[in-house]
Structure 1
């Protein structure tokens, strides 16, 4: 069996512990819920429940319609929270993350400067807009853009994040093929929770990526 790993699953506990003991100026967070994609069967089942539709229009889209990053304490925001969760040997100035070590799960590259790391939205904001978020209000879009409870936010290399852009898995996959099962499962989990649609090409690709994927179930 393949053990579920990656920054979302592994880093969350470290972040919670750090904030519980009180990083200066930060607000303690509850431990994120386990992703519904914690086993291949449930991810495949959730995929079958998603509504298939043609991608919607980009008319009216702007990143400002998805307000981020929300504040989480004095001078801190959700970006700091994800950097804290996904990194090791974190260094702070107040509660801002100013140093540490990060490994990008998309391409295996390592970094020690926070400025070299992007916070990727698993389901990109523009993709969400075309998948139904255009009908939400800005408050709900803000909830989506700052979602720490689903596997939606990841610290990755800037180059991989920008290569991905707003593409779905039928158009872009992480160069690190060993991460494809996790990537597909997390993509499905986010779209399922937020009731976003998928295209037929997206669904077919996700089904292929999930075929044969297994994770050990969490207690």
Structure 2
């Protein structure tokens, strides 16, 4: 009887060890050689940003006042050669799906149905619900406005490059409707986010976009950018 108990005990121990070994192998298989998940909000190198800023050419806005939104193509076009382009979804919904927390997407579509926006411009939390009377609570802002781009170099671009710029996720943020209205077409010299904690990231993004698209800045904007980045 005692011998049988010993055998049963030994068998149970072997089973436990086999299970442990299997779990260990699964963990190893699922984790070895995997790249870490990318940070959703990578912090830029502000030394590099300051260097990019100093390299931006300085000129005034083009004096000819002929900006028209439709010079940048149909709003939120998917026919673009930037991130999310040609994915079958409009750019507004691409950015909503990127920026909203607790996101719900309408089944079988690209449409963001609901979610929560942590507005980077104000620090406020905004509930987003898709609908004719509610969607405007969250809007998509061009960090470097289309008007600013037009008067600082985009007039010389072809239609495709302007369409790409208007839909480039690097230059787009989901924000509250009112603060988007308040910012309008203004550049860094005349507008900064009310949320002071986001100003470094905001200016860094504007510098990155202007560098990527070879736009210029006014002397006032460059000075304003320097003042913000000095403390970043």
One fold, TM greater than 0.5?
yes
Q: 1:73 Cα deviation (Å)?
A: 4.6
1:107-145 CA distance string (max 9 Å, x none) = 012222251101000100000001010111221100100
Structure 2 gap ranges (5+): 1-38, 79-85
CA distance in 1, matches of 2:199, 2:65: 31
Q: 1:59 Cα deviation (Å)?
A: 2.9
TM-score (norm 2): 0.73
- The equivalent of 1:6 in structure 2 is none
- The equivalent of 1:121 in structure 2 is 142
Q: How does 1:18-167 map to 2 (within 5 A)?
A: 38-57=44-63, 59-67=65-73, 68-71=75-78, 72-74=86-88, 76-93=89-106, 94-113=109-128, 114=130, 115=135, 116-148=137-169, 150=170, 152-167=171-186
Query: Hey, which of these two has a bigger chunk of helix by percent?
Result: 2
CA distance in 2, matches of 1:204, 1:181: 14
Q: How many positions carry a matched residue from both structures?
A: 178
CA distance in 2, matches of 1:96, 1:42: 36
Greater CA drift, 160-169 or 107-116: 107-116
Task: With a CA cutoff of 8 Å and minimum separation of 6, indicate the structure with the bigger relative contact order.
Answer: 1
Structure 1 gap ranges (5+): 1-8, 12-33, 214-219
CA distance in 2, matches of 1:119, 1:96: 14
CA distance in 1, matches of 2:231, 2:217: 21
Q: CA RMSD in A?
A: 1.6
Name which one, 1 or 2, has greater alpha-carbon Rg: 2
1:28-53 CA distance string (max 9 Å, x none) = xxxxxx7xx81110110000100000
Q: 1:56 Cα deviation (Å)?
A: 1.0
8 A contact 1:58–1:129 mirrored in 2: no
Q: 1:58 Cα deviation (Å)?
A: 5.1
TM-score (norm 1): 0.77
